[in-house]
Amino acid sequence: MTSLRESQILRDYSEPRGLLRTGLLWVPSGKPLLPFSAGPPTECTRSEQGSRSPCFLAGDHRANEQLALTAMHTLWFREHNRVATELSALNPHWDGDTLYHEARKIVGAQLQHITYSHWLPKILGEPGMKMLQNYQGYNPNVNAGIINSFATAAFRFGHTLINPILYRLNDTFGEIPEGHLPLHKAFFSPSRIIEEGGIDPLLRGLFGVAAKLRVPSQLLSLELTEKLFSTAHSVALDLAAINIQRGRDHGIPPYTDFRVFCNLTSRVMCVHLCFRLYGTPGNIDFWPALMAEDLIPGTRVGPTLMCLFVTQFQRLRDGDRFWYENPGVFTPAQLTQLKQASLARVLCDNGDNIQQVQADVFVKAQYPQDYLSCSEIPRVDLRVWQDCCEGQ
Ligand code: HEM
């Protein structure tokens, strides 16, 4: 979480416009990149990373960890400034603090809506969304903090989703001249954003499919598969091993305890390799156990992971008095607008020149006809934030 001091460093106080500080302008679009970080950490200029640029500064210290994440941070910081600028035009009498906090509140609400209404259903499927139940308003008895085992094991499920190659696509979804990028070359290398095409190629690589790769999945070439494996092996750190060790450092309860917490059968089948490794099911490390569970059909998680996800995401929503749907946080008209938010729109508004995107970016595009023109993607209409029109 960003401290008050950190958030102050990120703000632009030169004019009372509620903006975040900007860095270099990306010339082709005239849109800003993130500012550079002044002090340590200096990971970005270490020679083995091949980067000649300082790290970017953003609201989370991990923003430089890999380029696709850096691109997403750039996208959302631009969204803050876009919203603040529009609010300022609608309400010229608002001071810088009011503009900053209202823009921050709107951007936070969009993130909540996209996460819970568009992303989570892909992970939890219908069964999980049923378990999550509909929102019933703020519950002061719910602890909205992050569960230790969630951060230390469960949500690290994301480490199994990372592609060993970051695709970098031009506006016709072909490979950029600098090529796609093996993941290990994407760590802490902000200079690749400055020198190798800005953020758009990376973003298109996340939601689109490279034109040349538009083939039935079973025909994806052996050559590509080999490329993936060789790059995966060249990553120096073993993240899976770190996840296991971190679980032990934190002394999180064993897998079998979570089976009980989740009302699942506590008798865990531990066969062959598992017995050789652990001797008894009570010793199984939590992260690998979660990753080894069979997926519930129509979801991306096994039963124990599902239970932890639902528990955590429910608490984050129900125990948050600023939750965007909590009555009184926004006016009904504002809430109606916020429910129009989509990551597709944020990409259209804040990419350098993204003109085409699928309506639901969490479903990978396969064919050219999957894309819509940005003009077809709805936008949150900020006019309901004009003082005169509140509640209309
Ligand atoms: C290329 C992509 C990624 C890399 C290189 C990466 C790397 C790391 C590293 C080095 C840590 C610290 C490990 C430790 O010392 O315990 C970490 C923590 C973590 N990662 Fe990732 N990660 C990536 C993507 C993701 C994704 C996609 C997710 C979830 C969707 C995720 C979830 C987490 C969580 C929850 C933690 C623990 C954070 C905390 O305790 O506060 N990571 N990751």
Q: Domain count of the chain?
A: 2
Instruction: Indicate whether 31 and 118 sit together in one domain.
Output: yes
Ligand 1 near 364 CB (within 6 A): no
**Residue 65 CA, ligand 1 centroid: distance in Å:** 9
Indicate whether 111 and 180 sit together in one domain: no
Cα-to-centroid distance, 340 and ligand 1 (Å): 30
- Closest residue by Cα to atom 11, ligand 1, is 239
- Annotated binding-site ranges for heme b: 159
What DSSP state is assigned to residue 299? Answer: S
Atom of ligand 1 nearest to the CA of 237: 10
Q: Is the peptide bond before 303 cis (omega within 30 degrees of 0)?
A: no
Whole-model pTM: value is 0.92
pLDDT in tens, the chain (392 residues): 678 999 999 999 999 999 999 999 999 999 999 999 987 666 787 756 567 789 999 999 999 999 999 999 999 999 999 999 999 999 999 999 999 999 999 999 999 999 999 999 999 999 999 999 999 999 999 999 999 999 999 999 999 999 999 999 999 999 999 999 999 999 999 999 999 999 999 999 999 987 765 444 333 333 433 443 344 434 468 999 999 999 999 999 999 999 999 999 877 767 666 778 898 888 999 999 999 999 999 999 999 999 999 999 999 999 999 999 999 999 999 999 999 999 999 999 999 999 999 999 999 888 888 999 999 999 999 999 999 755 44
Q: Containing domain of residue 39, as a range?
A: 4-138+320-389
313 within a domain of the structure (yes/no): no
Q: Are residues 78 and 16 in the same domain?
A: yes
CA of 301 to the centre of ligand 1 (A): 18
Count of C-beta atoms within a 10 Å radius of residue 268 = 17
Q: Are residues 15 and 56 in the same domain?
A: yes
Q: Which of 233, 263, 278 is the last residue of a domain?
A: 233
Map residue 139 onto helix, strand or coil: coil
Is there a single domain that holds both residue 119 and residue 212? no
- Position 241 in a domain: no
Residues 133 and 69 in one domain: yes
Distance 48 CA to ligand 1 centre (A): 21
CATH number assigned to the domain comprising residue 347: 1.10.640.10
- What the block records as the tokens of 281 is 């099911």
The three-state (H, E, C) secondary structure of 176-235, written as one string: CCCCCEEHHHCECCCHHHHHCCCCHHHHHHHHCCCHHHCCCHHHCCHHHHHHHHHHHHCC
239 in a domain, yes or no? no
Do residues 109 and 186 both lie within one domain? no
Closest CA to ligand 1's atom 27: 158
Looking at 188, 209, 233, the residue that finishes a domain is 233
Q: Does residue 370 lie in a domain region?
A: yes
| Domain boundary, last residue among 210, 233, 256 | 233
**Same domain? 111 vs 206:** no
